[in-house]
Chain A
Amino acid sequence: MKSLLWPTVVLVGAGLALVLIQSDPSSLELSRVAGIYALLALSVGISYGQAGILSLGQAAFASVGAYGSAIVTTRYEWNPWAGMVLAMALAAGLAYVLARLLVRLSALALALATLLFGELVHFALTRGGDLTGGYIGLPGIEAPAPLDSREGTHLVVWAVVALVVLIATNISTSAEGRTVRGAASDPVLAGSLGVAVPVRLSAVFALSGAVAGLAGFLFAHSSGYLAPESLSIEMSIAALAMAVIGGRYSPVGPVVGALVVVLALDLLPSEDLAGLFYGLLIIAAIVLLPRGLLGIRRSTPVSPFRKKASA
């Protein structure tokens, strides 16, 4: 599996550099969208791949973060970077509370609850009156440098993706990752070993929420406007599809999944086919590649043992 990882990273990096050099507006826009999707897919990889929480609410966490930052920067003149911190904290806090309340549910019930959460967020945003701008949303969101240029946005978004890949790598190869995967796969066993299962899983879900919130911040402040539909439930489903297709157990898999899907969608003749496209992709991925394109198993050996093994 390691053999696939580095060629993938090099290939993606080269592609991104090429986009930057060519500096073609439509490619840069596609790269921005793909990068934000990659962050959402990474947030799925962290929650679903590590903590076993299948979330259909990642775009809603992004939306909460995006609106939080957009509101404080447009209405209360906060510095956008303070808005970024707020976006992550809001999404993480909500995710933690939600997970603490619901993590004991069955996997399916939990997935449906995250879907319901997404609907609730959407409902609240459309009924938010002046605060959220209702159905119309919020225009005039400030783009702080370097998000004020296409090239700068491209760089920042993908630098953040790289950072989150690093974070996901650290989780999946650490002792905490081992504990969390164990707690997700056998909560009874984990409890017998002194693991406070709901707390440990919720902490990972909070981190996944923070990543989604960060994606929402980047979206809002690079788009300049925000509406309840901007970060929709379809995006949550797309992010899930991307993570599953690329390989949710791999720290790079969701990024690959996002790139594959965004590029394929770009070639698709009609927007109306997108839903069908996701459905087919997910089914194909589950049947043909249950572990995703990068083919990583659920439990990667934790790093110190891996070193010992190869020594």
Chain B
Amino acid sequence: MSLTATDIHVAFGGVQALDGASVHVEPGEVTGLIGPNGAGKSTLVNCLTGFVAIDRGTVWIDGIAAEGSSAHRRARRGIARTFQTPRIDPDASVADNIAMARHRLNRTRLPGSVLRTPRCRREERGDVTAVHEAAERFGLTDVLQRRGSEIPVWQLRLVEVARATLLEPRYVMLDEPAAGLGGAELELLGSSIRGLAAHGLGVLLIEHNFAFVRQHADTVTVLDRGRLLATGTPQAIAGNRAVVDSYLGATA
């Protein structure tokens, strides 16, 4: 049981975004994915989640090749993600933005909604409870009724993480969720990420702040120019010569 990408190659026109990259996400663990700008981190997440077609290489979902499985099917199979540039409906409330993820668990579709069947009502009540719980966990209770356009970007990132967890996924890919977060929120996010792993989720965490990664990740994978540069425990990565030279530099 794991989510694994091996030897992934992806080219955009002339740009070789991924050139043999690999990553492994284990249930119950946080895998940090780091590397310089343009290293291919987001592209790798796009490959894992089915948003980008792979030229060569394989994504394995619990040992089964994911080839040909579309993004929405992978989400239904329990792979959630956030986007580096938050995707929020600016017109809908934060509550409704988060609640959209409940579509995966709910079974009411158009006919049931038109007739407002008992199941429809029951599921909508369930949505409210679930959204309020998630909002509480990510400190969003006060902004639930605001519109997506009315809250700052750093908070949108938390909305994205809250929404992703409402899918009740087995794996969750977080693309720079901590960008722009201040001390208290960073703390909250870090403990929430640990909480997800403690619940048995496999978490992939893309992050430039190595201190944050070091604090919360169990293993770290480093990409550089589309290639796997190193993988290991945070301590090992912090001491890895190649990683320090190409990316971490003086910060580690």
A157 at the interface (CB under 8 A from B): no
Give which listed residue, B75, B81, B112, B113, contacts A177 with CB less than 8 A. B113
Which residues on B sit within 8 Å (CB–CB) of A179? 100, 103
Whether the pair B89, A186 counts as a contact (CB closer than 8 A) is: yes
Whether the pair A302, B87 counts as a contact (CB closer than 8 A) is: no
**Stretch of B90-98, B181-189, B194-202 lying at the A interface:** B90-98
| Complex Cα spacing A105 to B114, Å | 27
Whether the pair A301, B89 counts as a contact (CB closer than 8 A) is: no
- A304/B51 contact (C-beta < 8 A), A188-B87, A193-B100, A299-B93 known: no
Considering only residues 98-114 of chain B, those with a C-beta below 8 Å from chain A are 99-104, 106, 108-110, 112-114
**Stretch of A7-15, A107-115, A166-174, A229-237 lying at the B interface:** A166-174
| Complex Cα spacing A308 to B33, Å | 39
Considering only residues 163-195 of chain A, those with a C-beta below 8 Å from chain B are 167, 170-171, 174-179, 181-182, 185-186, 188-195
The 0/1 profile, CB within 8 Å of A marked 1, for residues 135-175 of chain B is 00000000011010000000000000001000100000000
Whether the pair B89, A192 counts as a contact (CB closer than 8 A) is: no
| Complex Cα spacing A303 to B80, Å | 26
Whether the pair A194, B167 counts as a contact (CB closer than 8 A) is: yes
The 0/1 profile, CB within 8 Å of B marked 1, for residues 269-311 of chain A is 0000000000000000000000000000111011111001100
| Complex Cα spacing A48 to B6, Å | 43
Whether the pair A305, B96 counts as a contact (CB closer than 8 A) is: yes
| Complex Cα spacing A174 to B123, Å | 10
A103 at the interface (CB under 8 A from B): no
B16 at the interface (CB under 8 A from A): no
A240 at the interface (CB under 8 A from B): no
**How many B residues touch A, CB cutoff 8 Å?**
47
Interface of A, helix, strand, loop or mixed by DSSP: helix
| Size category of the binding interface on chain A | 35 or more
B72 at the interface (CB under 8 A from A): yes
Q: Which of B92, B110, B128 has the most CB of A within 10 A?
A: B110
- A170/B99 contact (C-beta < 8 A), A193-B75, A299-B92 known: no
27 A-B contacts, Cβ less than 8 Å apart? A171-B114, A175-B108, A176-B109, A182-B92, A182-B97, A186-B87, A189-B100, A192-B71, A192-B87, A193-B75, A193-B80, A193-B100, A193-B103, A194-B73, A194-B75, A194-B104, A196-B72, A197-B72, A207-B110, A299-B89, A299-B92, A301-B96, A301-B145, A304-B125, A305-B96, A308-B128, A308-B132
B interface residues, Cβ below 8 angstroms from A:
49, 51, 70-73, 75-76, 80-81, 83, 87, 89, 91-93, 95-97, 99-104, 106, 108-110, 112-116, 120, 123-125, 127-128, 131-132, 144-145, 147, 163, 167
